[in-house]
Amino acid sequence: MDVLEAIQQRRTVKKYLPDAVPAEQLDCILDAAKWAPCHRMTEPWRFRVVGPVTLGRLATVAGEGAAKLMRAPTLVVASYAPSPLPLHAAEDEQAAACAIYAVLLAAEAEGLASYWRTPGILRSEEGRAALQLPAEERTLGLLHFGLPKKSRPEAPPRQGTDAYVTWLD
């Protein structure tokens, strides 16, 4: 699969088969992050693969939101370690978001489905404690991975470039 095909085919999937993504395959997918564009080569992104004990802690503090944590067999918390300098911190966040997208595209290329969520529990003190996140890290989301339970949805209609591209003289 080429990159354009992966970009066009990737969809948010919320229903998965129960089998976890094998560790070797997940490691390969997460390795794609290192190719994301990054200011000053800081590679600020961090990924934490959520195991059953951590998932239990997170589900306990999530309350009613716990069911959404169980959608996919493999969960990864995506975060970044920002620079103390405000401009650099913004660049670090942008680089980490690019790294997440690279990982999602790598999952697509591997035939896996994915879902990037930003649940509030990741920003709460209780959720952060359940995930053992250091105080200096900022979360960007919870990534769900697995094999889709059914075929991916069709692509919704998209705007043409005339809606969002301006050519300047």
Residue spans of the domains in the chain: they are 3-149
pLDDT (tens digit per residue) in 38-48 = 888 889 999 99
Is the pLDDT assigned to residue 129 strictly greater than 90? yes
The residue assigned the tokens 């088969």 is: 17
The residue assigned the tokens 């990737």 is: 10
pTM for the structure as a whole: 0.91
Instruction: Check residue 46 and give its pLDDT.
Output: 97
Chain CA centroid to CA 110, Å:
15
User: Rounded to whole angstroms, how far apart are CA atoms 127 and 92?
Assistant: 22
Instruction: Check residue 114 and give its pLDDT.
Output: 94
Mean pLDDT of 90-94: 95
Q: Decide which of 3.40.109.10, 1.10.238.10, 3.40.50.2000, 1.10.3720.10 is the CATH code for 3-149.
A: 3.40.109.10
Instruction: Indicate the average pLDDT of the chain.
Output: 93
- Of 144, 152, 151, 20, nearest to 71 by C-alpha is 144
